[in-house]
Chains A and B, each alone.
Chain A
Amino acid sequence: MTSGEILHVEDLHVYYSTPKGYLKAVDGVSFNLHKGESLAVVGESGSGKTTLGLTLVRALPKNAKIVSGKVILNGEDIITLSTEEFRKKHSWRTISIVFQGAMNSLNPVIKVGDQIAEPLTYRGGLSKEEARKIAEEFIEMVGMPRDFYNRYPHELSGGMKQRIVIAMALVMKPQILILDEPTSALDVTIQAQIINLVKDLLDNLGLSVIFITHDLALASEIADRVAVMYGGQVVELGPLEELLGETPKHPYSEKLLASLPRLRGDNVPEFIPGRPPDLINPPTGCRFHPRCPYVFERCIVEEPPLFRQSSGHLVKCWLRGG
């Protein structure tokens, strides 16, 4: 691990067992995360981005299996830990997650403040009064008045509930916060507020953030670096300015960017013909080859490696990598 690196994922493979065979949801993913950094993981449905997030907090469903790879958190490979050991040692304290739709899974009959305070008493061993005080501080930190402690979920709007679940994820002061599509159920005006909140947290807490999203535009609002996923693999990984400053290097990232509708400029959004790959029987060679406009012979027969460019930018493509 290099200095400042707090998470290092190496050649991770996570498969789901299905009646038709193994679904290779995450198939050879490697990346790292530094202290205070925000990494956006961008991908469309079925790209493996959510499975990746679930693996990092060891919350995979029963039919999923970590086949191989390493997830090194603060120097320790968490894949080798039992779920129970991981929960005791790392859940909430080192790494925590805001699941997609988490705001709808708040307990409707418990005050939101008590829901934030729960891990402090249950895991942190604090008294009720101490826990309440800390929970109130976090409610304030995510931009709401302290007395919202006493409210019930139904008394809050969607945006407020999202702020509460973010406070819940932060209350044990983790080093890494994973946000899985934290704004996809919210209106754009509220989405913009939440994005500003996450920026504040990044700037003020020295937190590292993994922001999982399908929306490249939204990712660009928040990321220092961007990992683009396609068919269970990272196809491009690089600093935001490089990925969006010029044309992205990987044809998939390029086409994904070209598909976004914009408010300004004359570019008409394009679409990528075809459909996402079948991950039970993935295409040979490069997984994007059946939809790639630049495909040539080698792409069909041989899987490209992640080529490292001089700037450290990684591209999994025969054409653009070398």
Chain B
Amino acid sequence: MEGVKKFYEVRKGLLSSQELRALDDVSLTIQRRETVSVVGESGCGKSTLGRISVRLLEPTDGRVFFKGEDITRIPESALRRLSFRKKLQIIFQDPYSSINPFMKIGEVLAEPLEIHGFPAREMKRRILSALEDVKLFPPEEFVERYPHELSGGQRQRVNIARALILDPEYLVADEPVSMIDASSRAEILLLLKQIRDARDMGILYITHDIATARYVSDRIAVMYLGELVEIGPTTDVLRRPIHPYTSLLLGSVPEPTPYGRKKKRVVIKGEPPSVLNPPTGCKFHTRCPLAIEKCKYARPQLTEYFPNHSAACHRAEEIILGN
């Protein structure tokens, strides 16, 4: 994706309207056999980015490429004809509302195959093997079950199976574990890793939880109010974050500790400003403990400070030297 922007018109009264910049000039490349996590708070634009990348949304500006081909503006019919719809898949957060409760699991999985005109015999084979891929054993039994007979974690695995059944090359997983019980989360995360390797896929993992991102991703991208503020290899971003927002985000994640009651966390003051009326300059300057005058008017550019590790912060060099 290159310089992707997504603006919405928000009506204010009858005649006036205002621009909402959900995504403002974001570029991101996902390689084959790579998982990139996009991390950020609600409203940062991470889901919009994910949807644009599979062409569920069209960007206002910028371009989306898939295997070198520009798919930004090609019409839906062509997307299907050129089988891009098969190759680009997405799974959503809520495993309860994303599966038709009146359909058996077998029917849920058959639907995409029917749409793409697979013969009955091939359909059956693919359904059983997809269920095996997501570890729902025995698959013959799961085919006959209804969604309400499954736990949240099992439903989410059905969603993954449905996304995989058409052999996609690129998968967007939008908060796939945030509604799953803790004891089942790790299983879904492990599954995402196995899929990436076994199927040679590119995965965009969207999450608000940077701790889960650590286990699935090769790279982490941090977003704030529609912009990419930092991107780099997972361990580098976690161990040596550059952007102050990344550091504070890492500091906010609760971790099991026997001494939690006795100390307080350093928290980011305030709340994210409205996307409708974002701050000038660096959008984080209103909450940043290191903000200087320049941050108020000049927008920092994403700059590479270490191999593949970039951040958009005027004080990045000082921060790196201070580490």
Contact = CB atoms under 8 A, between A and B. Distances in A.
B41 A187 contact: yes
Given A215-B254, A222-B260, A244-B257, A271 B265 contact: no
A261 B181 CA distance: 12
Contacts of B189: 261, 269
A216 B258 contact: no
Grouping DSSP codes into helix (H, G, I), strand (E, B) and loop, the A interface class, with mixed when no group exceeds half, is: helix
A44 B151 CA distance: 12
Contact of B256 (A45, A196, A244, A255): A244
B41 A223 contact: no
Given A218-B254, A263-B211, A223 B261 contact: yes
B261 A221 contact: yes
Given A187-B41, A192-B265, A259 B256 contact: no
Interface in A190-242: 190-193, 195-196, 199, 214-218, 220-224, 240-242
Interface string B207-230: 011111011000000000000000
Interface in B174-188: 181-187
Contacts of B208: 187-188
A271 B215 contact: no
B248 A189 contact: yes
B196 to A, nearest CB: 16
Contacts of A261: 185-186, 189, 209, 211-212, 214-215
B202 interface: no
A96 interface: no
A259 B267 CA distance: 25
B238 interface: yes
A256 interface: yes
A224 to B, nearest CB: 6
Contact of A269 (B153, B215, B255): B215
B182 A256 contact: yes
A321 interface: no
Given A195-B265, A255-B183, A240 B249 contact: no
Nearest to B211: A261
Contact of B260 (A220, A257, A268): A220
A191 B264 contact: no
- Number of chain B interface residues as a range: 35 or more
B151 A217 contact: no
A271 B214 contact: no
Contact of B249 (A189, A217, A272): A189
Contacts of A195: 254, 265
A276 interface: yes
B102 interface: no
Contacts, number: 136
Given A222-B261, A224-B261, A271-B190, A191 B182 contact: no
A256 B184 CA distance: 10
Contact of B215 (A218, A240, A268): A268
B261 A244 contact: no
B305 to A, nearest CB: 21
B8 to A, nearest CB: 19
Interface string A262-292: 1110001111100110000000000000000
Contacts of B183: 44, 255-256, 259, 271-272
A45 B152 contact: yes
B81 to A, nearest CB: 41
A44 to B, nearest CB: 4
A127 interface: no
Nearest to B150: A275
B252 interface: yes
B182 A263 contact: no
B181 A214 contact: yes
Nearest to B44: A187
Nearest to A38: B261
A262 B210 CA distance: 9
A222 B262 CA distance: 8
Interface string B272-300: 10000000000000000000000000000
Contacts of A271: 183-187, 190
A263 B251 CA distance: 10
A192 B7 CA distance: 31
B289 to A, nearest CB: 13
Nearest to A188: B252
B209 A262 contact: no
Given A221-B261, A269-B186, A264 B255 contact: yes
Nearest to B39: A188
Nearest to B152: A45
Given A188-B208, A257-B256, A261-B215, A45 B261 contact: no
A61 interface: no
Given A187-B208, A276-B181, 5 more contacts: A45-B181, A218-B254, A222-B260, A244-B257, A261-B212
6 contacts: A189-B248, A215-B254, A221-B254, A244-B258, A268-B215, A270-B186
The 5 A-B pairs of least Cβ separation, nearest first, read A269-B186, A271-B187, A272-B183, A271-B186, A187-B41
